[in-house]
Amino acid sequence: MADALLLIDDIGAVRRITVNRPDKLNALNAATLDALREAFDAAAADERVRAVVLTGAGPKAFVAGADIAEMNTLAPVQGRDFSQRGQRLMRTIETLPKPVIAMINGFALGGGLELAMACHLRIAADTAKVGQPEINLGLIPGFGGTQRLLRLAGRAATLELCLLGAPIDAVRAQQLGIVNRVVPAAELEAQTMALAEQLANAAPLALRGILDCVNVGGECAISEGLEYETTQFGLMFATEDMREGTAAFLERRKPAFRGR
């Protein structure tokens, strides 16, 4: 459909989800938040999907923010509900049992940066800009920006971006730890899809174990995180993939992981 909020296509075991509101710079309204959550739930449930790439339609924006026109009409309780709706989506992505890569092809501002930070990896075009400009609207980040930015970039950078509200370029974002890689804009899709394919070919249960350990460890004391890691490590020995991976290493061949 030409008016679909999302475009979804599969390339092998990689599912690509594209926010499709280029005339609004892919701004996140309530309907788009709901559509994204349904799309990620579907990707998690589909055994054929082993990695997900998230991006925005058009040449200008990944996601330029939440839909300001929609927010302008909200009362306080509705504003809180809108924040909770966005945070549910971000948490769905963050806890997805399959790796999610944000392919940042342009502006990732406000809710767009919050969306990218919920993904497990972020690759940005060298022309991209990111930021939390909510202060300029008399608002604060509402989809988890203050918390995930703090964990990725630290207190000083979080306060700078949120208090000043000015965007930064992709190179600066990489220096702060907000994005993993910066690549030439012309190579963004090819390099992102190559990374997604690499992840799709990795051992699915081990990928899930790593994602789980990092999520748990980021929210608990190190002693608890270490205990959780030990448990997950032991569970890997019950999988066919672990036997296949170690046998392939010893036999000097490429492993064929099956997610079992």
Q: What is the pTM of this model?
A: 0.93
Which class would CATH give 6-200?
Answer: alpha beta
pLDDT tens digit sequence for 111-148: 999 999 999 999 999 999 999 999 999 999 999 999 99
CA distance 196 to 202: 10
Domain 204-250, CATH number (from 3.40.50, 1.10.1660, 1.10.150, 1.10.12): 1.10.12
pLDDT at 201: 94
| Residues with catalytic function | 114, 134
Q: pLDDT of 83-121, one tens digit each?
A: 999 999 999 999 999 999 999 999 999 999 999 999 999
Q: What is the pLDDT of residue 3?
A: 64
Q: Where are the domains of the chain?
A: 6-200, 204-250
- Strand bridging mode 181-183 / 121-125: parallel
- The rounded mean pLDDT for the chain is 94
Predicted confidence at residue 124, as pLDDT, reads 98
Q: How far apart are CA 131 and CA 177, in angstroms?
A: 13
How sure is the predictor about 158, in pLDDT bands with cuts at 50, 70 and 90?
Answer: very high
Q: Could you read off the pLDDT of 64-90 as tens digits, one per residue?
A: 998 899 999 999 999 999 999 999 999
